[in-house]
């Protein structure tokens, strides 16, 4: 069972000290006295809020708990605020969940909690924000349904300067419309050691059922890929609940983020190097069949990569320079060309683009590795491509590497999942992540 509490202030701070002693100091602000003046027949209920009232400098990754002794927890309100008086947000948490407080916070700032089966203990699902003053207000009831209110205030330690993990970039961006193969890519400004905790702080929620998993390209870059292509025409959100997560080596996340994007129509492209054709299907029906000319394959650099690609970015005009793939411009095989309507699909220099100089479109493969197209065809593909549209190339003897560009679909689901730090998949049509984001209070 979930009770939801929403803190607001997000802090970019600096210094995480050792956890303070967790001492109970609950304040009763309600009354359970019988209106007639007689003593209530029910046993009293008490609440222990941990960390306790007045605790300072506590670790933000230690779970917040509310425990009812002699009863059940029925409501929790959590407010986080910067000591300097920064923006705050709070919301009442009840059996039906909380509503947004309206002070600028987002769903990524919600500190949801889970009730134990007996309803006696509420434990926060997410970490607290470093360097904030935290106020917890709770309501508990005894077996007779009589309620009492309790409260505690404490503070969390700041993240040390130079050890504050922040989001450096992400793909896609909020507001983007993407193709059905689109991965979610997050890049951090510092290395991550506790990869499983960071993975569990990244919650992906889609309108249509799917499952997926994170894979780390290196210590600072993580990629989420679903098991199957996204179903088209739906919204996807990513709650990056990084605030308070222990990334390892004394580094803590300092800010939450929320990413919202939309999956558009289902468009898939196949390029066959043998037939010299490029076929585009949309929502299962063929809509275009273009003549093309791919790499002449006299060298590895000039061989178009076969396999599962995704469209990555596009340029109305682009200078293509052979030196970027290790071939000097002044060599016999070198080139430097201005091209129009370029759509990238790998990191090894491959783009679809206009090539009005190529008189062998649909007949022979004469390019330096890029699928050449007629100008009008390249313009159509440029204008009708979303980032993340699947693009499959067949018929060459050079297979694309799974980490060349966004060719993540080259890996089987089992191989992709095996690269996750948690080793578990994440259901995207439900809230939560596979494991805990919290650290051990005894660490």
Catalytically annotated residues: 353, 370
CA dihedral over 349, 353, 358, 363, signed as positive or negative: positive
Per the structure block, which two tokens stand in for 303? 């061989």
DSSP assignment of 294-337, as one string? -B--SSSTTSPPBEEEE---EEEEEEEEGGGGT--TTSTT--EE
Q: Which residues contact 117 (CB under 8 A, 6 or more apart)?
A: none
* C-alpha pair distances (Å), 63 with each of 32, 113, 306, 433: 29, 10, 48, 16
Residues across the chain: 443
Q: Characterise 248 by phi-psi region: left (phi > 0), alpha (psi -120 to 50), beta (else).
A: left
Burial class (CB in 10 A: 0-12, 13-18, 19+), 38: exposed
Residue 140 to residue 152: CA distance in whole angstroms: 14
Residue 64 to residue 48: CA distance in whole angstroms: 11
């Amino acid at each position: 069972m979930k009770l939801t509490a929403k803190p607001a202030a997000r802090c970019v701070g600096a210094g995480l000290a050792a956890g303070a002693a967790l001492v109970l100091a609950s304040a009763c602000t309600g009354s359970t006295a019988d209106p007639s003046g007689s003593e209530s027949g029910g046993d009293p209920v008490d609440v222990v809020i941990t960390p306790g009232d007045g605790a300072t400098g506590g670790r933000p990754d230690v779970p917040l708990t509310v425990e009812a002794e002699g009863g059940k927890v029925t409501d929790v309100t959590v407010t986080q605020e910067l000591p300097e008086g920064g923006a705050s947000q709070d919301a009442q948490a009840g059996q039906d969940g909380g509503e947004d407080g309206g002070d600028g916070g987002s769903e990524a700032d919600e500190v949801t909690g889970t009730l134990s089966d007996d309803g006696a203990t509420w434990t926060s699902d997410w970490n607290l924000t470093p360097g904030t003053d935290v106020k917890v207000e709770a309501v508990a009831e005894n077996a007779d349904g009589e309620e009492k209110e309790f409260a505690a205030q404490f503070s969390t330690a700041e993240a040390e300067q130079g050890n504050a993990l922040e989001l450096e970039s992400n793909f896609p961006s909020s507001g983007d419309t993407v193709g059905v193969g689109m991965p979610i890519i997050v890049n951090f400004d510092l290395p991550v050691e506790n990869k499983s905790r960071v993975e569990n702080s990244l919650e992906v929620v889609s309108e249509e059922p799917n499952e997926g998993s994170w894979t780390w390209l290196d210590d600072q870059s993580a990629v989420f890929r679903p098991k199957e292509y996204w179903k088209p025409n739906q919204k996807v959100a990513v709650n990056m609940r990084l605030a308070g997560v222990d990334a390892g080596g004394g580094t803590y996340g300092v800010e939450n983020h929320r990413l919202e994007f939309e999956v558009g129509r289902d468009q898939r492209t196949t390029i066959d190097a043998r037939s010299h054709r490029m076929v585009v299907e949309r929502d299962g029906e063929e809509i275009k069949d273009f003549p093309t000319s791919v790499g002449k394959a006299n060298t590895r650099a000039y061989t178009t990569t076969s396999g599962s690609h995704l469209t990555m970015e596009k340029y109305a005009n682009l200078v293509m320079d052979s030196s970027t793939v290790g071939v000097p411009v002044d060599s016999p095989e070198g080139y430097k060309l201005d091209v129009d309507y370029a759509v990238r699909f790998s990191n090894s220099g491959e783009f679809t683009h206009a090539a009005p100089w190529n008189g062998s479109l649909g007949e022979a493969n004469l390019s330096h590795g890029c699928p050449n197209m007629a100008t009008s065809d390249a313009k159509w593909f440029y204008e009708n491509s979303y980032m993340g549209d699947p693009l499959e190339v067949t018929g060459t003897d050079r297979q694309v590497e799974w980490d060349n560009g966004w060719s993540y679909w080259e890996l089987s689901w089992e191989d992709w999942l095996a690269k996750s730090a948690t080793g578990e998949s994440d259901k995207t049509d439900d809230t939560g992540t596979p494991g805990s984001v919290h650290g051990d209070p005894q660490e």
